[in-house]
Structures are given as C-alpha cells and as structure tokens.
Structure 1
C-alpha cells in the first residue's frame, strides 16, 4: 500500500507534522500489509504552489508532490487552523490538483490548533472540501489542540483517536481477505427457488 501524507505546518518542528507522523504510524500499525509512506511538506513547496496558481505550470518539485498524492492508495491530510479555518497553503495545494484526481481515494482528515474551539473545522471545512473532490474520508477525523500534547488524560484520548482513525484508514485500503476470490454468481431463478 502507498500512503501519502500531506502536512501544512509552517514551523519546524510543527505540531501539525507531529500529528501527521503519529497518524501515519497508526495506519501502518493497523495495516495487514507493508506500507510505503511518503510525506509531502507543503511549506517546502509553498512558492511552487503559488507560481502554479499564477501560471498554471507546476515546477518539477510540485509535480512530484502532486503525483505522490494522486498516485497513493490512501491519503492523510493535516492542516493547522488559522482564523478558524484550514490554512491557505493547504487549500492552495488542493486547488492545483485536477478536480477528479482524488475520486474514491480514502482520506484521513486531521487538524491542529491552539484551542478546542476550532475542532469543528474537520466537519465544516475539511469534509466539504474533500467531498467536493469526491474523496472518501474516514468517519473519524482527528483534531489536536495544544492541551492534547501534554501528558495524562488528554494525551491518552488523542492517542485513542489517532489509533481509531488509523485503523479506519487501513481498513478502507485493505484488499479482500486471503482466499476470497470473485463472489459466486447465483442466477436469480435459483435465488427465488431457495425460498
């Protein structure tokens, strides 16, 4: 399985990158197969994204990032929250993708912010964005406020959310169980006769 991780954190180190790494680790741990993880740090290609928006031509670095995301079997997308919404850099990257490049792609949505008050960004901004892109977000989104990074109950609750979301993403990318072939075709007449 190929897993792409898009992180829009601006600082180094970044809590957004930390959350992205923990989500990727949880997905790898839950997957029943080898997973190749590639991280796309948007801060490293921010100028390339802006130039692409202005000219319509991606740089080689941006083209590689786009191919990584669109060619992956699954995606983890993590953004910091600024002014009660996802970051402009995050949105700009997804603006340069072809509108149909994420159709049916399993996506784990996550965000970081200073306060719990912004946790609704997952449902009111990220889900609509990825719904428009026709992706397939997992049920559990993960929001991490500053208070979640300490120790104790909050950190434990964050880790449980991370593990749950990672397991959901891994299950969406899992193939059929071993030994499961094509489903057996049963003619309709035979189904009626069975009653």
Structure 2
C-alpha cells in the first residue's frame, strides 16, 4: 500500500479547543478518503500552543530553534498539510499567523493544503478566504477548493441544514486526499540545515 505523510497544524490556544476538534475531524476525513484510494496515511498533529515561545524567538531572531526546527522540517517534507486556526478580530490568531510567517517561502511550494477555521459565529466564515487562504497562496501551496469553517452552532448540527458541517468536512477531505494521493514522491531539500540555535546566537552577544 502506498504511504503518505500528513502534518496537521492546530492553532487553538486552549485545551481542549474547538480548533483541535475540527483538526481531528479533518484528519479523519482525509485518512478515510486516502484509505479508499489504497493510500496509508501517517499523521502528525502539531499543537502550536506547545511551540509558542520558540515561534516568538524565531520571529525575533529569524531562525527556528528547539523542537520548532524539527516541526518545520517535517512540515516541509510532508505530502500534505492540514492547517486550522481560530478566528480572532476577523483574522487568524496571532500565533497561527506568526507560525506561517516563519515558514521558509519555498518550503511548501506545490504542497496540498486543507484549510479550516473556527469561530463563535458563521459571520466570520469569510475570514478563511480573505485572511487565511492568501497566506498559503503566497507560499505557492496547492490549497484545496473547499475550506471548512465551524461556528459554535455547527457542532450541535443546527447551524446549516443545507450544507451541514459533516458534509463539508467529507467534501474537503475528499478533495485533499485526491491531491495528496497524486503527489510526487520527490522531497524538497532541507531548508533548515546549518541554522544556528537561538541560544548559540545570543551567547555571542
């Protein structure tokens, strides 16, 4: 059976969080669709809150350090990325945006990406299109057409009778799986080699 690697990035700030819940649902849909295509998926879920300090350090120094460097390397070497952020003040969370900002500009070129977001009300759903999708378009990723926004009411099944959340998740998972299954085996060069540690740089000051 063919194998593919998926890295899922959850930008939720709380534990538990609806952002992580949506991340897990999107992962399940993608894995199920890949299995139907004879593809075995190996999944790593990254909680950005666990790397918040290293992300800030990387913003300040220009270089990733600690466990964050490994996360970025595995992200660049994956066959597909699922990225989910909470929506705050009509945009992605600051932590999610900062994480995207420290990704090398060529690291995800051509990468299949499935986007998701969570918020208190469906009125913020377009933030996926005007605030989050452009970030990944800039990185030249292959973003699937269907992005999934989950408002608080979606989890109860009452928010959208015409296009309920489970149906949106399944459709997005199918589109993502099609891209991942067709992805070339070639991997990009390691863009994070020879990067000095944060501690080493500041020990010279």
The bucket for the TM-score relative to the shorter chain is: 0.7 to 0.9
Q: 1:101 and 1:117, CA in 2 relative to 1: closer, same or farther beyond 3 A?
A: same
- 1:70-101 CA distance string (max 9 Å, x none): 11100000000001111110010011111111
Task: Choose from 176, 186, 198 the match for 1:169.
Answer: 176
| Counterpart Cα distance in 2 of 1:83 and 1:125 | 11
| Counterpart Cα distance in 2 of 1:161 and 1:57 | 37
Which runs of 5 or more structure 1 residues have no equivalent in the other structure?
A: 177-195
| Counterpart Cα distance in 2 of 1:69 and 1:28 | 17
The structure whose Rg is larger is 1
Match of 1:191 in 2: none
TM score, norm. by length of structure 1? 0.87
Match of 2:31 in 1: 28
1:141-156 maps to which residues of 2 (within 5 A)? 141-151=147-157, 154=160
| Counterpart Cα distance in 1 of 2:44 and 2:122 | 29
Q: 1:43 and 1:127, CA in 2 relative to 1: closer, same or farther beyond 3 A?
A: same
Secondary structure class of the residue paired with 1:35 = strand
Alignment check: 8 A CA contact 2:10 2:47 kept:
yes
Secondary structure class of the residue paired with 1:13 = coil
Match of 1:7 in 2: 10
Superposed displacement of residue 152, structure 1:
5.0
| Counterpart Cα distance in 2 of 1:16 and 1:64 | 23
Structure 1 segments (4+ residues) deviating >3 Å: 151-156
Match of 2:98 in 1: 92
